Amino acid sequence: MLNDRFSFELMTQDDKARLGIIRTPKGIIETPAFMPVGTQGTVKGIFSDDVLKTNSQIILGNTYHLLLRPGIDILKKFGGLHKFMNWNKPILTDSGGYQIMSLSKLNKIDINIGAIFKSHIDGKKIILSPEKSIQVQKAINSDICMVLDECPKLTKDKKILSEAIKVSTKWAYRSKVEFGNNKSKGLFGIAQGGLYKELRVESIERLTEIDFDGYAMGGLAVGENQNDMFKILNETTDYLPKNKPRYLMGVGTPSDILGAVKEGIDMFDCVLPTRSGRTGLAFTWKGKINLKNSKFQSDKSPLDEKCDIRDLNKYSKSYLNHLIKTNEILASMLISLNNIYFYQQFMREIRKNIKNGTFNNFHKKYINFFD
C-alpha cells in the first residue's frame, strides 16, 4: 500500500538482521534493499525498464554529477529525474559528500560555506553548500535525500575524524533546515567516525538529536578491510534508532552486504554490479565467473537459465566470451543486466531467510562464497 508520506516499518528481526518496508508516494522498498547506482541518471548499460524487471525498487542518483550535467534547469523542466530518465519508482540521491573525498584535489572545505569545487569538466567554480545540495536534490525530486557531509579518506587520525564529525553535524543541521517539513520525502543523516566506536557513537548521538527520517553510515568502504567494517558495525548499529532505516553507503560485494545485514543494516548501494559487468565479471549462484577466461569459449550454458529479461537465458557463456574478446558493447550490457538481476535475487533470498528465521544459516553458507 502506497502512502503520501515517507515511513518505515520494521516487520521482524532474526537476531540483528532486520526485515522492513519503506513506504513512499513513488512505491515501497522492501528491506534489506540494494539500490543500483545511476550516477548520471542511468544505471550504466541497462534500460530503465530492464532495471525495473530485475525487481529493483529504488535506484541511486548523484547530486554533484547531476548538478553539473544536465543541471537544475533541465531537471526542473522535466519535474525531476524520474521523468527525465523514465524511472517511476523511488530515487535516493547522494548529497555530493563522497565527491568531496573522491575529488579532494579539486575542492576545499569551508565549514561556514560548504565544499568549493573546481569542476572536473570545465574548471568552473562550484560551491556545494548544504543548502545547495538539498536544493539540487529537490530539483531532482528525490524521494530520499541525503545531508551534505564530509567523508574523510581512510585514516587513523582521530583529529581528522573528529573535525569531519564537527563539519558533518553542522552541515546536517543546515541541510535539515533547508529540507523543511516535507513529510512525503525522507532526509537521512550520515554518521562519520572512521573505525573508532566512540567517534561513531558521538556522531550518531549528534545526528539523532537533530532527528532524521533515516541514518547512514558514511566513511566506510573507503579502503578498510571487511572484518574492520563488520567490527565497527557490530559495535555501533545498536546506537541507531530502531524505528528508522539504516543505510551503509557504497557497499558492496555480496559478502559485504550479507555481513552488514547480520549487523542490522537495511540499505545498500554500489557500482560493483555494473562496473564488473563492463570488465566481464558475472555474479551467479555458482559464484563469480570471469567470462574472459578461455575455458568458457565452448560453454553452451547461460549465466542463469531462469533470467528471461532480454532473453538473457538464451545467451551462452561462449557467446558472451566471444563478445568480450571482440570488444562488443553488448557484452557489458548483458553481463551488467545479469549482475543487477543476481543482486536483487540475492536480496530477495536474504529477506526470505530473515522472515523464516533462517538467516544465520544463509549467512554461513554464502559469507565466503563469492571470495
Residues 6+ apart with CB under 8 A from 94: 60, 61, 62, 63, 64, 146, 249
CB atoms near residue 225 (< 10 Å): 9
Q: Which residue in 207, 219, 270 sits closest to 244, CA to CA?
A: 207
For residues 35 and 269, the answer to whether their CB atoms sit within 8 Å is: yes
Q: For residue 247, what pLDDT band results from cuts at 50, 70 and 90?
A: very high
pLDDT at 34: 98
Encode 347-362: b = buried (16+ Cβ within 10 Å), e = exposed: beebbebbeeeebeeb
> Looking at 85-89, 99-103, 127-131, 296-300, which range is the least confident one?
99-103
**What are the backbone dihedrals phi and psi of residue 79, each rounded to the nearest 5 degrees, phi first?**
75, 15
Find, among 105, 101, 137, the residue nearest to 120 by Cα. Answer: 105
Q: Does 32-270 carry CATH code 3.20.20.105?
A: yes
Least confident of 117-121, 246-250, 281-285, 320-324: 117-121
Residue type, position 135, single letter = Q
Which one from 94, 149, 256, 266 is the annotated catalytic residue?
A: 94
| CATH 3.20.20.105 domain locations along the chain | 32-270
The model's pLDDT over 169-198, given as tens digits with 9 standing for 90+, comes to 999 999 999 999 999 999 999 999 999 999
Residues 14, 143, 266, 269: which is the catalytic one? 269
Does 94 participate in catalysis according to the annotation? Answer: yes
Average pLDDT of the segment spanning 317-342: 98
User: In the prediction, which pLDDT does 26 show?
Assistant: 97
The whole-number average pLDDT for the span 158-166 is 98
Q: How far is CA 244 from the centre of its chain?
A: 17
- 368 pLDDT band, cuts 50/70/90, is very high
The identity of residue 150, as a single letter, is: E
- Span 307-334, average pLDDT: 98
Q: Is the model's pLDDT at 1 over the cut of 60? A: no
Three cell numbers written together for 211: 532527528
pLDDT at 336: 98
pLDDT confidence band for 371 (50 / 70 / 90): confident
CB atoms within 10 A of CB 49: 11
Around Cβ 368, how many Cβ atoms within 10 Å? 9
Per-residue pLDDT, averaged over 257-284, amounts to 98
Give the pLDDT score at 29. 98
Tens of pLDDT, residue by residue over 38-52, are: 999 999 999 999 999
Question: How high is the mean pLDDT of the chain?
Answer: 97
pLDDT digits (tens, 9 = 90+) for 282-292: 999 999 999 99
Q: Is 269 a catalytic residue?
A: yes
Q: What is the model's pLDDT at position 2?
A: 58
CB 93 within 8 A of CB 62: yes
